[in-house]
Each structure stands twice: as C-alpha cells, then as structure tokens.
C-alpha cells in the first residue's frame, strides 16, 4: 500500500489535505558519481553573495572529511557528516542535523538560511535520501524537497554510466542534470545522447570549471520547486542500461483523486521497489489548480499546488522503473487513462 506522508490522514481523504505548507525552506540534493565535480559546482555557487543565506550539509566517506574544507563556507553554516553515506548509516543523522541547523537559526546562534543544500557521497543511492526527506515530520512544517541535481562528469561520464549502476540511478531520478568539465571536453554529443536515453525529461545544463547560472537550478532560482518539477515534457522513448527505464504520458482532462489513488496503490502492489519514482502534474476534480505528484517507491510526497498558468487541464505523468518490462508500465499508464476518463 502506498503511504501518504501527511500526519495520520487516510489516503482517500480530500485532496486539499495533502497540500504542502506555504513558504517552506527548499532543500536541494546534489549527487553524482565520485569525482564528477559536485563540490566544485557547489563551491562556485556559494561564491555568489546571492546565495550567502544557504545552509550546507556535506556527507563524505572516510574518517577525515575534505570536501567541506574545499567549500570554504563558514563553520557555523556547514554541517559535516563524516564516515558514511547519507543513504546508509547516517540517514537518521541527516534529520538530526537538519533539526539542529533550524533550531540554532531560530535561537540566532547561526544566521537564518533561506535554502538548504545536501551534497551526497559519490556512491549514494538517491532513493533512500529522498525518502528520508519525505517521511520526517519536520519536512511538512519547515522544509520542502526542491529537487535532485545530478552532476555527470563530462570527460568520464559515458564510462561511468556503463560501469556503475548507481550512477545510472542517480541520472535516471534527477530533476536536473549538470554535465561538468565542459572546458576540457572535446565531444559531448554521445554522452548527451546516453543521458537522454536514461532521463528524457530533466533539463541538461553544461558547466565549465563549476561555472554556470545557478538560477537554472531547482531551489536556487526564481522558479518554485513545483514549477521546476512540473516541466516534464512530452512522451519520450525509453531509457536503456542497467534495467532502469522511463515512460511518460500526457493526461488530458481532470481526474478523480480516489481513482488516481487506487491506481497508484495497485501499481505499487504490482511492482514494489521496482517502481523507483512517479512524478507528474495532474488536475484533480474539485481543485482550481493542478497538483504536482511525487512518489518514491511506496512513499507519496504531499501534493503541491501549481502556482502558475498551466495548459488547460493537460497534465503529465512519468514512471521510472527497473527490472520489469517497459511495456507493462506503458500499459499501466493506459489503464489509468481508461479508468479515469471512461
């Protein structure tokens, strides 16, 4: 059964009960395989005075952390989680660290911050990290998941995606893809095609020596998280490699929330952990504005109302899965269309 993460409300409650609180602090996750350039990118972003109100959590492997020294961020604004991966031993510590930062800012022990950035280790699986942000009660009152930013090495990216399955998952689940080291890349077309075969909906941004326009990133620019993640594009071809794939479909017209709920529950019962992520924008019956849908495996993220003009009642859904037939996911989307609009 898919689990709604909003207090103890039943999943068949009114849609409005699932809407996220207003004006939370956006939380951006920066991931990417070892050596892809995550820390360099983050350091360049934090050089700007426009982002001086950013709190950072850095996670490193090993007993001696180094990345936090390279960032050159004031100690009181940086929480270093050494000796483990956020998605493994330190999942609880992530929540504790977020609470500590918030509490200290409330007591004026550290400067108030307007956004939070979490830099993962290069071997981190993004799914448990996103689940942690979704399930903790603190998230509903003060934080909002802004998006997953995945950095891909412009030089070694193709080789990494070929040899390390976790890098494929990092790319497949991304809301935004950043290709680094473009200053030393001679030919990136094949890498770009490889990335598009894995994730056909996330925007690709190219970076040279960590330099790029931070305003294009979810959680940093003028776009709200709902606006960024609602930009899902049209139906695309499947992804290839490591059993991870993506299917998507345009949804025309409004949908009964209870019908959608039943379909999602059936989807989870059928595929379990092989349904890596569901995201989209849907206009439910009885709601003035569309809602952004986010689910990671069996965890449903609270709905967020879209605060900008959409194309009528046209919505989109994206399913990301692994180790099952792509045709089954395509059929599942068609099943939703059939039961929603009959």
**Which DSSP state fits 62?**
S
Which pTM does this prediction carry? 0.69
Question: Which of 41-55, 83-97, 322-336 is least confident?
Answer: 83-97
Structure tokens at 217: 């990133």
Q: Superfamily assignment of 25-230 in CATH? A: P-loop containing nucleotide triphosphate hydrolases (3.40.50.300)
Alpha-carbon separation of residue 142 from 87, 91, 99, 200 (angstroms): 21, 18, 10, 31
pLDDT reported for residue 80: 45
Structure tokens at 89: 């031993």
**How confident is the model over 261-303, as pLDDT tens digits?**
889 888 888 888 788 888 888 888 888 888 888 777 666 767 7
Residue 127 φ/ψ region, left for φ over 0, alpha for ψ in the -120 to 50 degree band, beta for the rest: alpha
Sole residue written with tokens 């490889």:
194
Structure tokens at 214: 């931070």
Q: How confident is the model at residue 195 (pLDDT cuts 50, 70, 90)?
A: very high
pLDDT reported for residue 92: 52
Q: Give the angle subtended at the CA of 177 by the CAs of 101 and 271, to the nearest 5°.
A: 85
Where do the domains of the chain lie? Answer: 3-20+234-341, 25-230
CATH number of 3-20+234-341: 3.30.1220.10
Residues 173-188, mean pLDDT to the nearest whole number: 89
Is pLDDT at 133 greater than 90 in this prediction? no
Q: How confident is the model at residue 68 (pLDDT cuts 50, 70, 90)?
A: very low
What is d(CA 45, CA 49) in angstroms, rounded to the nearest whole number? 9
Sole residue written with tokens 């019956």:
285
Is pLDDT at 232 greater than 80 in this prediction? no
Is pLDDT at 231 greater than 90 in this prediction? no
**How confident is the model over 234-249, as pLDDT tens digits?**
333 433 345 778 888 8
What is d(CA 7, CA 137) in angstroms, rounded to the nearest whole number? 8
């Amino acid at each position: 059964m898919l689990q709604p993460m909003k207090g103890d409300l039943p999943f068949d409650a009114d849609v409005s009960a699932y809407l996220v609180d207003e004006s939370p602090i956006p939380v951006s996750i920066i991931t990417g395989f070892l050596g892809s350039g995550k820390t360099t990118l983050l350091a360049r972003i934090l050089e700007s005075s426009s982002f001086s109100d950013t709190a950072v959590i850095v996670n490193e492997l090993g007993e001696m952390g180094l990345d936090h020294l390279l960032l050159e961020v004031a100690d009181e604004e940086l929480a270093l989680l050494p000796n483990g991966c956020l998605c493994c031993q330190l999942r609880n510590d992530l929540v504790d660290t977020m609470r500590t930062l918030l509490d200290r800012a409330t007591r004026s022990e550290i400067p108030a911050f307007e956004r939070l950035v979490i830099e993962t280790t290069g071997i981190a699986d993004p799914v448990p990290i996103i689940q942690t942000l979704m399930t903790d009660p603190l998230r509903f009152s003060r934080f909002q998941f802004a998006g997953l930013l995945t950095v891909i090495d412009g030089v070694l990216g193709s080789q990494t995606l070929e040899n390390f399955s976790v890098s494929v998952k990092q790319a497949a689940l991304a809301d935004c893809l950043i290709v680094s080291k473009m200053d030393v890349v001679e030919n990136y077309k094949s890498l770009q095609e490889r990335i598009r075969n894995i994730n056909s909906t996330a925007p690709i941004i190219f970076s040279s020596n960590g330099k790029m326009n931070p305003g294009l990133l979810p959680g940093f620019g003028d776009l709200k998280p709902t606006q960024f993640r609602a930009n899902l594009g049209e139906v695309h071809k499947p992804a290839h490699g490591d059993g991870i794939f993506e299917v998507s479909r345009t949804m025309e017209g409004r949908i009964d929330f209870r019908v959608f709920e039943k379909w999602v529950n059936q989807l989870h019962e059928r595929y379990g952990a092989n349904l890596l992520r569901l995201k989209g924008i849907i206009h439910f019956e009885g709601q003035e504005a569309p809602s952004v849908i986010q689910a990671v495996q069996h965890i449903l993220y609270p709905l967020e109302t879209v605060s900008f003009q959409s194309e009528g009642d046209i919505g989109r859904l994206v399913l990301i899965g692994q180790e099952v037939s792509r045709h089954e996911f395509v059929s599942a989307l068609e099943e939703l269309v059939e039961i929603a609009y009959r």
